[in-house]
Structure 1
Amino acid sequence: MSYRYRLATIFLLAFFLDCLNIFMSTMALPAISLEMGLSTNETTWISHAYILGLTLIMPLSLWFGELLGARKLLTLSMALFALASLLSGFSTQFSALVMARLFQGITGGLMIPVGQAIVFAEFPKTERSKISTMIMVIALIAPAFSPSLGGIILDYASWQWIYFSNIPLALITSFLAWAWIKNASFSKQKSIAQKPDWIGLTLISFSLFLLLTALTQYGQAHQNIWLSHLYFGIGILLFVSYYRYSKKQSNVLVDLSLLTNIRLRASIAVYYAVPGIFTGINFLMIFYLQKILGFTATQTGQLMMLYAFGAFITMMVSGYFYNRIGPKYLLFLGVILHSFGIALLYSVDESLTYLLLIPAYLLMGIGGGLAANVAQTNAMIDFQNETLLKSSVLWNINRQITFCVGIAVLTLIFSLYQAFLPLMQAYQVTFITASLLGLLSLFFIQKLPVHTIS
């Protein structure tokens, strides 16, 4: 195996663990809620703590990478990830489990931007679509199969083993990072790690924390609506303060100036329109299918297999067409197909179930797989060396935030419709609204150049 594919293997294993923890751990939440006597709103923080940990540490990952080197950082992060998984499984109190999950997110967040950056640096521009396809295949496999895997673990063991099951793979990844990564892989330009900008770190970290907290509460805890407004307002204020502050600094942690790059900006918009919106749609569909249409959990989970099948097909061919057609037309096609699949959900009722659900999930998978894969490749295609590392941090922070935003925004929209529409209609109109929101990304896509990547 060549060196660059060894690096890709290490990163993909770590990325798989990340996706697994986002999706499989949700299967454990009902059992944890019952055992610890938690409300639904309290239980969601077990998942959100992991995403917050990932998001808040990513701005520091490059500094740690320069300080320790890629080999030590990736080895240590996966070893600590195994420890955090052990602590999560042994937690007997809610607060301890939330802190263990936060720690688990922090250890995973240390590795992802650095791992992706060193892998992309080893692949020339014309071949980055290959590694992007691998990344998106992993991003499909995890949500498609992890609910079933989590269910098996819960049926034959206990919720603790969902966390314990991460330990072997984390330790294997840690060993491979130590054995395969060369010491000079991380930074070819800097021999001395610069101290992080602690003022900027404080501003961006608290901004992200408050905004994610507000979005979560908007969708789940309407009795605290004014507190959510306060969190959101302060979060926006801190974000604006960080933006103004960062423009005066030469060594920023999250370089928002990179958003002037048209490809990165369009790719971020697509990620909100596709993976972000689908995450929210999938969340609502679980309740719609089971509470309104009487589906079982197994039947609901099987629909994700259709989505994964459709996405897998397009991901296998998108790399071929990326260098021939270019990202603009592929993103147009992917977003339109994805939005049309969501729009089909409007007509799904007791009389038209599988007749519409099957093409809807296939179209969402085909369009979503195409758009997400092309966006992943397109986002960092113009960056090299230090800017590639910084763009990796910005891109991965965005990737984590889209999951929270998708669920929070669509849940909030559904709750507003529910106030004056019958329950089934509220769901259906929310689906139509989501499909239209996805089309807003076409405004950013149409600004992309038509020519292909060379």
Structure 2
Amino acid sequence: MRELIGKLSYERQILIVYILAVFITVIDGTMVNVALPTMADEFGVAANEAEWVAVGYLLAVAAVIPAAGWLGDRFGSKRVFVSALAWFTVWSVVCGLARTLDQLVVFRVAQGLGGGVLVPIGSAIVFRAFPLERRASAASAVLSVAVVGPALGPLLGGLLVDNLSWHWIFFINLPIGSLGVLFAWMVLREERDDDAGSLDLAGLILSAGSVSVLVYTLSVGPERGWASPEVIGLGVAGVAMLLAMIWVETHRNRPMLALSLFRDHHFRVVNISASMLYAGFFGQILVLPIYLQSLRGYSASTSGLIAATTPVGVFVVSNLFGRRSYARFGPRALMSVAGLAGGLISCSYVFVGLDTSLWVLAAMGFARGLAMGFVFIAIQTSVYATVSIADTARAASVFNTQRQVAYASGAALGATVLTGGLQGMSDSASLVDQLPPYQWSFLAVGVVMLPAVFTARWIRDDDVDATRARITTGGR
């Protein structure tokens, strides 16, 4: 095995390690979502109680992401990455051994603490190793796996639940995670920052608290009502902690969350634009299966197949056109023009009806994936281009924190519009009456993407010329 590994460049070696980590975390979440109804039946609880298996993990991930950059700088990126992957793998097995819902929720929270560290630390390792001119190649490979996971997850999860049991959606992580730990230990080089500073306890508490509380508020707001005292209280607490965190972190020399990176023009603009694009993209992913299953009456497998056309479109672009289109047009054009196309296609779902052909929906999803594939390549390749190598880990924490909040915001927007429209309708309401809330929900998550078209125009391609140089000059 060492001889085979030795034939690969260090860049390829760490890319394989990171891809394994991305795959195991992405596919884990989608498999769990498929298994929630089965878990509810086995534990004898209501479906909304079983959702804590997913929500608990999400909150743990959101809480730990802000600290990931400091952990990598302080204790070494290799040590933290390997430890996080081993932790995630061990707790996956423990999750599969759970005998009650309470146990499973607690174990999932523990698992999420490892999962939340993996992606930001792994992305920092990758982008530190890849020179600027080869980052488009790295982004294409990672993006391919990141979109294949959500497409394969529901299918694999359904097969495991139907033919074995829900426990196996966690046990399957053992061989993948073990291989990743072994490979990472063998190939990764240790990188750390001797000037990382001591633990910023106040920053850790405020950043983890604000992000997790806000993500939780966005998750429960649509169901419990935005005007409910609980949701208002949580929202106020989350915003208060966020403001306190901003004040504390901007007054420290080595803060937990490096908000000073937003002084960098390119990093700031890409993050602002990406947050809106991610929110709309993932908000639509939430609404489409509900429309297909609850309104149209299709099975979960059919719904999954239609939803999978979008990641297929992203996969096609990332592998066939992504790198060269990035080199030729640059992030400014890709994020604004392709972002406009993705937003308009998302908005066009407002016209879907009760008899819209599945082939039409599949084609729309594929076209949306093609447009967003160009967008994601531009974001992933250029976001750290103007950040120093020393600050890459902390920049990854900042970027992944805003992306996690954007995911939750998009899902909350779609769910709020849908829930608000359906509220007050009787169970006997006709499908024709139920259709408009779905259409308005599709429109809402599409419209939220459109402002990014204008903010992306502030990107200066000259700032990231080095990320385009290799292909522009004819290199391979």
Query: Which TM-score band applies after superposition, normalised by the shorter structure?
Result: over 0.9
2:396 aligned partner, one-letter code = S
The corresponding residue for 2:446 is 435
- In 2, Cα distance between equivalents of 1:306 and 1:193: 43
The corresponding residue for 1:213 is 216
Question: What SS does the corresponding residue of 1:352 show, helix, strand or coil?
Answer: coil
1:89 aligned partner, one-letter code = G
1:70 aligned partner, one-letter code = S
The corresponding residue for 2:262 is 259
Question: What SS does the corresponding residue of 1:446 show, helix, strand or coil?
Answer: helix
The corresponding residue for 1:81 is 88
The corresponding residue for 2:333 is 329
- In 2, Cα distance between equivalents of 1:130 and 1:296: 37
The corresponding residue for 2:150 is 143
Q: Normalising to structure 2: TM-score of the pair?
A: 0.90
1:279-294 pair list within 5 angstroms = 279-294=282-297
Distance 1:355 1:219, change over 3 A: same
The corresponding residue for 2:376 is 372
- In 1, Cα distance between equivalents of 2:354 and 2:441: 18
2:59–2:216: 8 Å Cα contact kept in structure 1? Answer: no
- In 2, Cα distance between equivalents of 1:287 and 1:167: 32
- Determine which of 249, 261, 267 is the counterpart of 1:246: 249
The corresponding residue for 2:422 is 418
Deviation at 1:268, TM superposition (A): 2.5
Question: What SS does the corresponding residue of 1:38 show, helix, strand or coil?
Answer: coil
The corresponding residue for 1:115 is 122
Distance 1:321 1:223, change over 3 A: closer
- In 2, Cα distance between equivalents of 1:447 and 1:21: 37
Deviation at 1:109, TM superposition (A): 2.1
Q: Segments of 4+ in structure 1 off by > 4 A? A: none
1:275–1:372: 8 Å Cα contact kept in structure 2? Answer: no
1:7–1:119: 8 Å Cα contact kept in structure 2? Answer: yes
1:129–1:319: 8 Å Cα contact kept in structure 2? Answer: yes
Deviation at 1:373, TM superposition (A): 2.0
1:176-191 pair list within 5 angstroms = 176-183=183-190, 186-187=191-192, 190-191=193-194
Find out whether 1:13 has 2:24 as its counterpart: no
- Determine which of 147, 156, 175 is the counterpart of 2:182: 175
Gaps of 5+ in 2: 1-7, 426-432, 467-476
Find out whether 1:453 has 2:465 as its counterpart: yes
1:48-87 pair list within 5 angstroms = 48-87=55-94
Deviation at 1:375, TM superposition (A): 1.1
- In 2, Cα distance between equivalents of 1:416 and 1:115: 39
* Mean CA deviation greater in 309-318 or 245-254: 309-318
2:68–2:117: 8 Å Cα contact kept in structure 1? Answer: yes
- In 1, Cα distance between equivalents of 2:78 and 2:445: 42
The corresponding residue for 1:204 is 207
Deviation at 1:408, TM superposition (A): 1.4
Q: Structure 1, residues 252-284: CA drift from partner, whole Å, max 9, x if none?
A: 111122123333233333433333322222222
The corresponding residue for 2:469 is none
Find out whether 1:407 has 2:419 as its counterpart: no
- In 2, Cα distance between equivalents of 1:192 and 1:332: 38
Deviation at 1:450, TM superposition (A): 4.4
Gaps of 5+ in 1: none
Deviation at 1:328, TM superposition (A): 0.7
- In 1, Cα distance between equivalents of 2:273 and 2:323: 17
Deviation at 1:59, TM superposition (A): 2.6
Deviation at 1:193, TM superposition (A): 5.2
Deviation at 1:355, TM superposition (A): 5.0
Distance 1:224 1:29, change over 3 A: farther
Deviation at 1:211, TM superposition (A): 0.8
* Mean CA deviation greater in 214-223 or 3-12: 214-223
Question: What SS does the corresponding residue of 1:326 show, helix, strand or coil?
Answer: helix
